[in-house]
């Protein structure tokens, strides 16, 4: 003997399947519009993460919020690096970040403009083009890392 609820359930299955199919179709275009991340971007992000942890966490903190171990001892509060996009009208200021890292842009708290405190890590020696390329890659990796950790 079939109950009324059993008939309702058995008659409802096509509608449930249809609803599930429509949901999948609605979600498919959104997922296909996402851009693929290249192997190079992943490599740059990973290298940037390591460079950040080695060179930036003492001041900017492990979460890049400007709350590192020595931040309270500094006269200039370190920048919350997760807010660079938000503070720039929704656009990540990659070129400005690059200039701050390589010393072309003075950043209060980073020391003199021509020789940032950590400048030797990111600026090439006089060893030629290979050293310059490696320094530029380090800078690019750190910029990539910072871009990916921006808060929405």
**What are the tens digits of pLDDT across the range 50-84?**
999 999 999 999 999 999 999 999 888 999 999 99
- What are the structure tokens assigned to 144, written together? 């990539």
- Distance separating alpha carbons of residues 37 and 140, to the nearest angstrom: 16
Q: Quote the pLDDT of residue 100.
A: 86
Q: Mean pLDDT, to the nearest integer, of 41-45?
A: 95
pLDDT at 45 over 90: yes
Name the CA dihedral angle for 152, 35, 48, 92, rounded to a multiple of 10 degrees.
Answer: -40
Cβ-based neighbours of 48, under 8 Å, separated by 6 or more: 141, 142, 143, 144, 145, 146
- What are the structure tokens assigned to 14, written together? 């096509």
Mean pLDDT, the chain, whole residue set: 78
């Amino acid at each position: 003997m079939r109950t009324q609820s059993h008939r309702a359930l058995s008659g409802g299955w096509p509608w449930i399947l249809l609803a599930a199919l429509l949901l999948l179709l609605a979600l498919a275009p959104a997922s296909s519009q996402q851009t693929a991340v290249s192997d190079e971007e992943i490599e740059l992000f990973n290298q940037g993460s390591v460079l950040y942890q080695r060179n930036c966490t003492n001041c900017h903190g492990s979460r890049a919020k400007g709350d590192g171990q020595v931040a309270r001892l500094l006269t200039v509060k370190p920048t919350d690096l997760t807010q660079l996009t938000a503070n720039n009208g929704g656009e990540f200021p990659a070129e400005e970040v690059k200039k701050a890292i390589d010393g072309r842009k003075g950043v209060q708290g980073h020391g003199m403009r021509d020789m940032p405190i950590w400048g030797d890590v990111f600026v090439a020696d006089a060893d030629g083009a290979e050293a310059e390329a490696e320094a530029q890659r380090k800078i690019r990796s750190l910029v990539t890392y910072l871009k990916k950790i921006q808060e929405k």
